[in-house]
């Protein structure tokens, strides 16, 4: 059996102190295999984002252990953390978080630049990633010249350009209309079909239905963890061919 | 990531935020230019004063009455002045020029002009006071002896009364008497408050007769044989004067002797005070400019912090982020500072409030140093702080 992409055990996280203490996570254990497509659902305030930020190494775990590709993240120094974020994780935010006044291409190139990839190769790989999300013809556009759906697809391209072991998305379609949502979800299905490991948070049941595995979070605990389709099968939503635009 | 790459990132960052970059640079530019120019104005006026005093001649001493108007006690008179030209008692004296001066109105063909200093003196005064004649000629000892009414006009007076014609040979009216113009003085550098060209010079006897009357002399200009004999001349003149005016030993003398270097010292002191004052004004403007820079940089901290959060989430090491933002701040400060120096250099070629500014090199260094430090500090500090945050905290920053 191959090493799991991520494994958390007994993860707890609290915010604030004394009277104002909020228990965002109350002991979460989770194991995700390579190639899985996991949807996390739960009501607002149930701790989904908190979990996601820890998985993305954007936030430190309160207590418990987090092994990312077999490495204990809580032991890493700043430089190694930067390396982990760069090589192992692709993070997609609800608010897109593209660098403003910077072209789509430059945004997608950014993680490669931090990885030390040479400019020419960088450009080629970034263009390939943009083509994958169907935005090759928008490479020169700046974020404010793109629709929400297009911005999110640029963000997806940026997350997958380094070919990370793990793609994390925190409500990637939360700010999008139905048309754009469908576009972005098609990209995820496509990526899953190509063997990428994806964990995404969503509010919408139809998004959860497409995933291979559905986890429900209530009040900082996992209450259900259901496998919807086998690990080695193409997800239900995935269709052959390129995602539309 | 190589340094060249980080540099390219920084340049792209500056280009992506053109307005912010321009405003920051403008703030630094104005601060630097203001400091350099203001100090240059102060320095320029100080130098102008020095030049004028040096133009007076460094080999003369001036004797003046100590009391106002000379109404009390013995006064400086013509015989006293004559006594100073004594080869035995005052061997180092080259020439003695008694001087009277008063305000007067000069009239020519219906036009009139007031001069503050209508000077009556002897022919030796032109050489002693280092006042050459530009066109025509000075009056002579003979003119003086014959009591001829002749006059040499300052450049300003000549231009006012004879805007087109050549004044030499014309007759101007002063105090009801006609004076023949024999020449026009060469232009003198003038500073701030007083126009050195707004004067007229005539023989002592004529001026006393027509303008001042026969009271005491205004001053006596004594020229030494060489600049290094000035102190000796001063002592010799004092001895003769004490004797002539019967000053008891230890009593305060009814006259003052000043030489050009003493005058220079007091004036330089004044000019230094002026420069210091302007320097203070300049420092304040630098401070204000600095606050402007700080404002712009702090206003954008939220945006920058979020950007740093994004970059960290994408795997940027802290060192790379720090380097990029420090390069941005350095480029803005250095470029703004250099433009400020250029603006100050350009501005210093124009005369400002009648003063030709003279750049003080140390002010350039100071202004550049302070503004670059401000730019670096307030540009670098928020970036350094943000780079230390966890990505999620930087992204949540408000
Ligand atoms: N930075 C924070 N400071 C304090 N409390 C927080 C912070 N982030 C989240 N919380 C609290 O933690 C709980 C879980 O939040 P979150 O993980 O964002 O929920 P979800 O993403 O599922 O809506 C909520 O009660 C929220 O108020
Ligand atoms: Mg959330």
- Comparing alpha-carbon positions, the chain B residue that sits nearest to A90 is B314
Q: With helix as H, strand as E and coil as C, how does B167-193 read?
A: CCCCEEEECCEEEEEEEEECCCCCECC
| pTM for this entry | 0.71
Least confident window among A31-40, A169-178, B232-241, B366-375: B366-375
The answer to whether residue A222 is domain-embedded is: yes
Q: How far is B25 from chain A (nearest CA, A)?
A: 20
Domain spans of chain B, in order of start: 3-52+267-396, 60-259
Q: What is the pLDDT of residue B250?
A: 67
Examine the pLDDT at A8 and tell me if it is beyond 60.
Answer: yes
Residue A244 confidence class, pLDDT cut points 50, 70, 90: very low
CA-based nearest distance B395→chain A, Å: 9
Residue A142: band (very low, low, confident or very high) from pLDDT cuts 50, 70, 90: very high
Asked whether residue B19 carries a pLDDT value surpassing 90, the answer given is no
Q: Distance from first CA to last CA of chain B, Å, rounded?
A: 30
C-beta contacts of A116-122 below 8 A and 24+ residues apart: A116/B1
pLDDT value of position A237: 59
pLDDT, residue B43, reads: 85
Q: How many percent of chain B have pLDDT more than 70? A: 93
Query: What percent of chain B lies above the pLDDT cut of 90?
Result: 18
Give pLDDT, residue A43.
Answer: 93
CATH code of the domain containing A118: 3.40.50.300
The predicted model gives B157-182 an average pLDDT of: 89
A58 and B315 within 8 Å at the Cβ level: the answer is no
Q: Confidence class of residue A241 from pLDDT cuts 50, 70 and 90?
A: very low
- Is A44 contained in some domain? yes
B269 is written with which tokens?
């002191």
Which residues approach ligand 1 with their CB closer than 6 A? Answer: A 15-16, 22, 24, 42, 44-50
Per-residue pLDDT averaged across B186-196, rounded? 65
Q: Is the pLDDT of residue B246 over 90?
A: no
Strands (E), A21-115: 22-32, 37-41, 63-68, 71-72, 89-92
Contact between residue B140 and residue B182 where contact means Cβ atoms under 8 Å apart: no
The interface predicted TM-score of the complex, written ipTM, equals: 0.93
- The closest CB to that of B1, out of A100, A101, A116, belongs to A116
Between B6-10, B200-204, B225-229, B389-393, the lowest mean confidence (pLDDT) is in: B225-229
Q: Which residues in chain A have Cβ-Cβ distances shorter than 8 Å to B307?
A: 99-100
The pLDDT of A56-77, averaged and rounded, is 91
pLDDT attached to residue B190 = 56
Of all protein residues, whose CA lies closest to atom 25 belonging to ligand 1? A45
Q: Which domain holds residue A14?
A: 6-229
B266-275 contacts at long range (C-beta below 8 A, 24 or more positions apart): B267/B49, B267/B50, B267/B53, B268/B46, B268/B49, B268/B50, B270/B49, B271/B42, B271/B45, B271/B46, B271/B49, B271/B50, B272/B46, B274/B42, B274/B45, B274/B46, B275/B39, B275/B42, B275/B43, B275/B46
Q: Whose CA is nearest to atom 6 of ligand 1?
A: A15
Give the helix ranges, DSSP H, for chain B. 3-16, 18-56, 78-84, 125-128, 141-146, 155-161, 204-207, 230-244, 260-299, 301-313, 318-347, 361-388, 391-396
Contact assignment for B315 to A115 by CB distance below 8 Å: yes
Domain assignment present for residue A55? The answer is yes
Residues of A in contact with B300 (CB under 8 A): none
What pLDDT sits at residue A81?
94
Residue B69: pLDDT above 70?
no
Count structural domains, chain A.
1
Q: What is the CA radius of gyration of chain B?
A: 33
Which pLDDT band holds residue A22 (cuts at 50, 70, 90)? very high
Going by pLDDT thresholds of 50, 70 and 90, the confidence category of residue A232 is confident
Instruction: Using the structure block, give the residue that is written with the tokens 């001042």.
Output: B212
For A186-219, write each residue's pLDDT tens digit: 989 989 998 899 999 998 888 888 899 999 999 9
Measured between its terminal Cα atoms, the distance across chain A in Å is 38
Question: Of A59, A113, A158, A170, which to mutate for an interface test with B (greatest number of B Cβ within 10 Å)?
Answer: A113
Residue ranges of alpha helices (H) inside A161-204 are 178-193
Question: Is the per-residue pLDDT at A70 higher than 80?
Answer: yes
Of the listed ranges A178-187, A206-215, B233-242, B292-301, the least confidently predicted one is: B292-301
The number of the ligand 1 atom at minimal distance from the alpha carbon of A47 is: 17
Cβ pair A227, A213 in contact under 8 A:
yes
Tell me whether residue A149 is in a domain.
yes
What is the whole-number distance in angstroms between the Cα of residue A61 and the centre of ligand 2?
Answer: 17
Which residues of chain B lie closer than 8 angstroms to A116, CB-CB?
A: 1
């Amino acid at each position: 059996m191959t090493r799991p992409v991520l494994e958390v055990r007994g993860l707890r996280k609290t915010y604030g102190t004394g009277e104002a203490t909020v228990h965002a996570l109350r002991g979460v254990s989770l194991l995700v295999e390579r190639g899985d497509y996991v949807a996390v659902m739960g009501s607002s305030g149930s701790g989904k984002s908190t979990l996601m930020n820890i998985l993305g190494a954007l936030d430190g775990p309160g207590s418990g252990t987090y092994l990312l590709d077999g490495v204990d993240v809580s032991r890493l120094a700043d430089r190694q953390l930067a390396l982990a974020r760069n090589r192992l994780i692709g993070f997609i935010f609800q608010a897109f978080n593209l660098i403003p006044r910077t072209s789509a291409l430059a945004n997608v190139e950014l993680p490669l630049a931090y990885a030390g990839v040479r400019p020419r190769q960088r450009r080629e790989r970034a263009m390939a990633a943009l083509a994958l999300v169907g935005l090759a013809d928008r490479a020169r556009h700046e974020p404010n010249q793109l629709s929400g759906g297009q911005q999110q697809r640029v963000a997806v391209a940026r997350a997958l350009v380094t070919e990370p072991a793990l793609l994390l998305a925190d409500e990637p379609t939360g700010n999008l209309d139905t048309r754009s949502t469908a576009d972005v979800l098609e990209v995820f299905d496509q990526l899953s079909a190509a063997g990428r490991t994806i964990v995404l948070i969503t509010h919408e049941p139809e998004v959860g239905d497409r995933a291979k595995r559905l986890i429900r979070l209530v009040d900082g605990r996992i209450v259900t963890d259901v496998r919807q389709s086998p690990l080695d099968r193409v997800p239900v939503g995935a269709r052959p061919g390129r995602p539309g635009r | 990531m190589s340094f060249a790459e980080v540099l390219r990132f920084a340049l792209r960052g500056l280009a992506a935020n053109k307005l912010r970059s321009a405003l920051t640079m403008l703030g630094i530019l104005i601060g630097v230019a203001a400091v350099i120019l203001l100090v240059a104005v102060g320095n320029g006026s100080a130098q102008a004063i020095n030049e004028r005093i040096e133009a007076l001649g460094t080999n003369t001493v001036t004797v003046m009455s100590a009391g106002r108007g000379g109404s009390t006690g013995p006064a400086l008179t013509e015989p006293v002045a004559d006594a100073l030209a004594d080869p035995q008692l005052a061997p180092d004296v080259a020439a003695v020029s008694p001087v009277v001066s008063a305000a007067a109105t000069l009239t020519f063909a219906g036009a009139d002009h007031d001069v503050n200093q209508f000077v009556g003196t002897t022919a030796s005064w032109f050489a002693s006071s280092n006042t050459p004649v530009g066109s025509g000629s000075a009056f002579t000892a003979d003119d003086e002896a014959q009591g001829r009414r002749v006059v040499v006009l300052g450049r300003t007076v000549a231009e006012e009364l004879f805007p087109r014609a050549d004044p030499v040979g014309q007759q101007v009216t002063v105090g009801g008497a006609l004076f023949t113009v024999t020449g026009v003085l060469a232009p003198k550098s003038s500073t701030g408050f007083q126009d050195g060209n707004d004067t007229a010079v005539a023989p002592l006897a004529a001026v006393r007769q027509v303008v001042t009357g026969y009271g005491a002399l205004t001053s006596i200009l004594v020229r030494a044989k060489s600049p290094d004999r000035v102190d000796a001349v001063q002592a010799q003149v004092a001895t003769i004067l004490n004797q002539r005016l019967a000053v008891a030993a230890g009593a305060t003398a009814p006259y003052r002797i000043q030489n050009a270097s003493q005058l220079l010292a007091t004036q330089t002191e004044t000019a230094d005070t002026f420069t210091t004052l302007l320097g203070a004004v300049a420092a304040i403007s630098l401070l204000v400019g600095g606050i402007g820079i700080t404002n712009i940089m702090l206003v954008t901290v939220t945006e920058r912090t979020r950007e740093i959060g994004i970059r960290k989430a994408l795997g940027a090491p802290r060192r790379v982020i720090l380097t990029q933002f420090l390069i941005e701040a350095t480029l803005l400060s250095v470029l703004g500072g250099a433009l400020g120096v250029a603006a100050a250099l350009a501005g210093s070629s124009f005369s400002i409030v009648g003063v030709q500014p003279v750049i003080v090199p140390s002010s350039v260094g100071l202004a550049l140093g302070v503004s670059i430090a401000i730019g670096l500090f307030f540009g670098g500090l928020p970036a350094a702080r943000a780079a230390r945050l966890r990505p999620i905290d930087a992204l949540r920053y408000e």
